Amino acid sequence: MGKNLWGNLEGLTCELRYPKEILEEQGEYLRKSSEGLVKCEIFSMKLEDSRERLYNRFGVRSDFSCSFMISSDYVKRYYYEICKVTYGIKVYPVAISFDSGIAEEVAEVFDLVDNDTIIVYDEELLLSVLERILSSREVHQVLGGLMSMAQKERESENMPF
């Protein structure tokens, strides 16, 4: 066998959390908080070419893109997309895009790119942006409506007649 040209690979693993892991964790908080009335789902997606070009201008790789949605097992065929998250294997920078209702609230605190996207460069900023998005009036209004519908549907399923 020849010489190892890789150098010292010990310690290369790091404790970096990927955005998808953070979203999954937040989904679990929502499921528990709503007692199973609503849940989050994460779907892998392919970026539109125009988005990919925009993100590349800011150094965001598009190795991984996902859509973060809320839904309920009790309200069939309804999904609300909270945001889309795009990142590369090195993770940062990350692009987070969202609809105009959320964008208005996020723009009060963070600078947006293309009116609906924020580029984040570290986990601390990622968590701050996600907190602003998830606690926004827009998301809470959708959650409130979905939880109300889901509660009524769950109760009607449990009726004895």
DSSP-assigned letters across all residues of 105-122: HHTTTS--BTTTEEEE-S
- DSSP label of 61: -
Q: What angle do CA 22, 101, 71 make, to 5 degrees?
A: 50
Boundaries of every domain in the chain: 19-152
Residue 51: in which H helix or E strand, if any? Answer: helix 49-57
| Predicted local confidence at residue 159, as pLDDT | 58
Which pLDDT belongs to residue 38? 96
Task: Determine the pLDDT at residue 160.
Answer: 57
34 neighbors 147 (Cβ within 8 angstroms): yes
Q: pLDDT 10s digit of each residue in the chain, 161 long? A: 888 888 888 877 777 889 999 999 999 999 999 999 999 999 999 988 999 999 999 999 999 999 999 999 999 989 999 999 999 999 999 999 999 899 999 999 999 999 999 999 999 999 999 999 999 999 999 999 999 999 998 888 765 55
Q: Helix axis angle, 123-134 relative to 19-33, nearest 10°?
A: 30
